[in-house]
Amino acid sequence: MSRLFARLVLLLALFATLPAWAANDPTDAERTQMALKVLRDIQSMPEQAIPDRLFDEAQGILVVPDTLKIGFIFGGRRGHGLLSIRNPDGTWSNPVYVRLTGGSVGFQIGVSKSDVVMVFRTRQGLNDITAGKLTLGAGASVATGPVGRDASANTDQQFKADIWSWSRARGLYAGVAFDGAVIAIDDEANQRMYGTGSTPRMIFEHRTPIRPPNVIVDFRDALEEAGATAHNRRMVQREKGADIDRAVEAAERGAAAASTPAPSTSPDASGTAPSPPEQSNSQPEQDAGVTTEALPAPTAPAKKKSGKP
């Protein structure tokens, strides 16, 4: 009984801290700067980076810095972040501001802040967010993402989830789960940063009433740089793979040529070695019975005597 009472007291104490955490919420510009730092940090560590294949093929990127989670069997989560989508021409859009909220049930206790990054592989979840909100696990499947730039090489067959997520926690927490969390558009933040009347579609299409602050442009440029780097690394790996394939094919052709048997000079089935081709020693025949003799030398013609005395 006393143990249950202690747990209830701890739970109430944890939830009582939520207003204090919320009172220290950063401004929209500060949150954008934090999201930019998270994006740069996660890509600067090869062993923790988003795999190049996922980044190169991503349709959307969500970064939620300092997501607050508190739990004691029952848990709650809240955070504010930025979401950018890939344009048809391959570039990245300006980000919209979103809220990440939700609860969970399971083995979890404590309070933590963590940086959350999500990669959207399909448009399904993005369309739901643009329309209002997306419930993870219901509107789109979500899975814990592999880490390391080359992690995709061994998990290609597992890339079936709509959304892949990464979380970098700071604090005491156990039992992270994103199923059931809700991502919704933060209209108030979008109005403050892009101007009155700005909608997600207007933001994505660069049709907002006011020009976005430089920190938003920096976030978009960081996405462009990270995406281009991931794409170039994939192209280099493909070229290396093609070089290896060509080398293997050349080696196989050489081995096949070496194993091809030369023309046989061994005895035939009768046991007799083949005779060399006969060479003809005949000379051109001369016609028999034909004799030759020298022709007489020509004589000078006799001088004609004159009739005069």
pLDDT tens digits, one per residue of 272-284: 555 555 555 555 5
Residue 86: inside a domain: yes
Residue 258: inside a domain: no
Residue 83: inside a domain: yes
Paired tokens of 239:
């070229």
Residue 2: inside a domain: no
> To 10 degrees, what angle do helices 28-44 and 187-194 make?
100
Residue 259: inside a domain: no
Domain count, the chain: 1
Q: Whole-structure pTM over 0.95, yes or no?
A: no
Determine the structural domain holding residue 98 and report its residue range.
Answer: 26-244
* DSSP string across 102-156: EEEEEEEEEEEEEEEEEEE-SHHHHHHHHHTEEEBTTTB-EEEPP-STTGGGGTG
Residue 13: inside a domain: no
Residue 166 has what pLDDT?
Answer: 82
Residue 80 has what pLDDT?
Answer: 94
Residue 5: inside a domain: no
pLDDT value at 132 more than 50: yes
Residue 251: inside a domain: no
